[in-house]
Structure 1
Amino acid sequence: MDVKQFAESYVLANSGNFPNDKIFLLKEKLSSLPEDRQNSIQAVGLKNPIVTLMLSLFLGTLSIDRFYLGDIGLGILKIVSVLCFGVGLIWVFLDIYFCYKKTKEINFNKIMLVV
């Protein structure tokens, strides 16, 4: 497959997994990628932002969303703040947005490490 064609199809198929403001940079980097490295890009495991959103909505008070993203320390702190202080519930609602956004950033950073 042509490198530019690969970049187009990869971005088209996975654009929802990356921040919108970084799609152009991603496409540019993938367009300059040697053909022999295309398989390594496709092998990168991306986290699904919709899964993170669902975890935040339904299990956010248990910090499952933070644990899914690998933020163990923040997850524990979030649980403690929810259990001990009522203000932790504000954090739960804010994390719906922040965890969704962070998932896309994590995916972008994973791809940039390979490129």
Structure 2
Amino acid sequence: MDVSAITMYMQDKVPSQGLLLLQDKLKVASQEKLQSIALIPLKNPLIGLILGVLFGGFGVDRFYKGDVILGIAKLVLTIIGWMTVLIVIGYIFLIIVFVWVIADFFLVYKGIKQDNLNKIIQILA
């Protein structure tokens, strides 16, 4: 397996500063480790971002990332917000969810990249 091909494949799936670290580790890695790295199912951060834009209030982006508890919390907060919107307090919940969704655009995108990097480093260790 070619190190440059693996690096190109991982280019948009890991943080840019982590890519430099990986290049050095991949150059000295055994062929067996390179093959196992090529088979790792890495998540696409762009899919996490799209899920956040389309279904962020329902926690789908967090479920995709693997943060199930945070996904459930976001979903429950959204449901409570919509159920109590008639008694003004629901708007407070929905504003909280809205701010959380906007923050998650960045947090989930970067978090998926970091999770991918951690998976690869774990195999290389």
Q: Percent identity?
A: 33
Kindly indicate whether residue 18 of structure 2 is the aligned counterpart of residue 22 of structure 1.
Answer: yes
Matched residue of 1:17: which SS? coil
Name the CA distance, whole Å, in 2 between partners of 1:34 and 1:59. 41
Name the CA distance, whole Å, in 1 between partners of 2:75 and 2:33. 41
1:1-80 to 2 correspondences below 5 Å? 1=1, 6-80=2-76
Length, aligned pairs only: 111
Q: Which residue of 2 aligns with 1:98?
A: 107
Name the CA distance, whole Å, in 1 between partners of 2:21 and 2:102. 31
Name the CA distance, whole Å, in 2 between partners of 1:90 and 1:67. 18
Name the CA distance, whole Å, in 2 between partners of 1:105 and 1:81. 26
Q: How many Å apart are 1:104 and its aligned residue? A: 0.3
Name the CA distance, whole Å, in 1 between partners of 2:3 and 2:62. 31
Structure 1 gaps, min length 5: none
The TM-score with structure 2 as length reference comes to: 0.83
Q: How many Å apart are 1:77 and its aligned residue? A: 1.3
Q: How many Å apart are 1:82 and its aligned residue? A: 2.9
Q: How many Å apart are 1:32 and its aligned residue? A: 0.9
Between stretches 80-89 and 96-105, larger displacement belongs to 80-89
Give the CA RMSD over aligned residues.
1.2
Runs of 4+ with >6 A deviation: none
Q: How many Å apart are 1:62 and its aligned residue? A: 0.7
What amino acid is the match of 2:118? N
Matched residue of 2:41: which SS? coil
Matched residue of 2:114: which SS? helix
What amino acid is the match of 2:19? I
